[in-house]
Amino acid sequence: MRQWLQDAATKTVDAAAAITPQAVPEDVALGNCKVIAHRGAHDSTRIIENTLPAFTTASAAGVWGVECDIRWTADLVPVIHHDPTCQRLFGDPARLASLNYSEIRKRFPLIPSLAEVVSELGGHTHLMLEIKEDHYPREQQQKAILRDLLSSLLPGRDYHFLLLDPALARHVDFLPLEFCFLVAQLNVSQLSKHCLEHGFGGLTGHFLLLNEQLKRRHAAEGQGIGTGFISSRNALFRELNRGIDWIFSNDAIKIQKIRDHYLAR
């Protein structure tokens, strides 16, 4: 029930933002706009979230970056999947942490490895890699695996890590915290304070929750702000006019086309 109420409230807010007129942003703001496809460009039927087709479709449309979720297999291969199980997307309750990578390839061939995503997109499409609360039986080895897989990329330029919990930073402590962004839900004040005190790269969250005062506070410390989930022209213009750095969207190609159209004008 709580999730249903949250979803309903989000839709109401999004609808209100969509019909609230906004001025066309200046060319500088449009040019600096960084659209990020949340779990890729997917529609839940033809293109499934967190798959290579979802990521390459977004990239081919000129979307600046993609957000994806890292999970670990039983034999410690990092793969891209949001949920701990395959029930929601594939109708199978199997837990990724209980399957070897070879089993996943046979049963769920659409689930890509992180290595495949880096090979396909690394260096030309920004990767926002969310570190999940997952199993870490050999944490030092798993850190080394992540570090090695990302060694051809430059942190900050080519990728960042996203964390729902600041404690998850321990899994990627081979990088400075400036390359990690905290993802706020309803705990915006708490995470904002933690972000400022410990030198994270910035904060992301729903556009309604990240207000002007908070944005200015983080900007003063050289930290960025990203907001989601932008789904309309007016919502996009609102965020660009107030200087938001990253635009997360479940309609990234649509948002990218709006940005490109007005920048061309």
Q: Percent of the chain beyond pLDDT 70?
A: 96
Q: H-type helices in the chain, by residue range?
A: 2-19, 27-32, 52-60, 87-90, 101-107, 114-121, 139-149, 188-198, 212-220, 233-241, 252-264
Question: Is residue 254 predicted with pLDDT exceeding 70?
Answer: yes
Task: Enter the pTM of the model.
Answer: 0.95
Of the listed ranges 16-20, 22-26, 82-86, 195-199, the least confidently predicted one is: 16-20
Token pair, residue 120, equals 């396909």
Quote the CA–CA distance of 107 and 101 in Å, as a whole number: 10
Per-residue confidence (pLDDT) for residue 8, from 0 to 100: 60
Enclosing H/E stretch for 254? helix 252-264
Question: Is residue 4 predicted with pLDDT exceeding 70?
Answer: no
Return the amino acid letter for 28.
Answer: V
Q: Which residues have a Cβ under 8 Å from the Cβ of 93 and sit 6 or more positions away?
A: 85, 86, 87
Computed over every residue of the chain, the mean pLDDT equals 95
The domain segmentation of the chain, as residue ranges, is 2-264
Q: Which CATH class is domain 2-264?
A: alpha beta
Per-residue confidence (pLDDT) for residue 99, from 0 to 100: 98
Quote the CA–CA distance of 179 and 166 in Å, as a whole number: 13
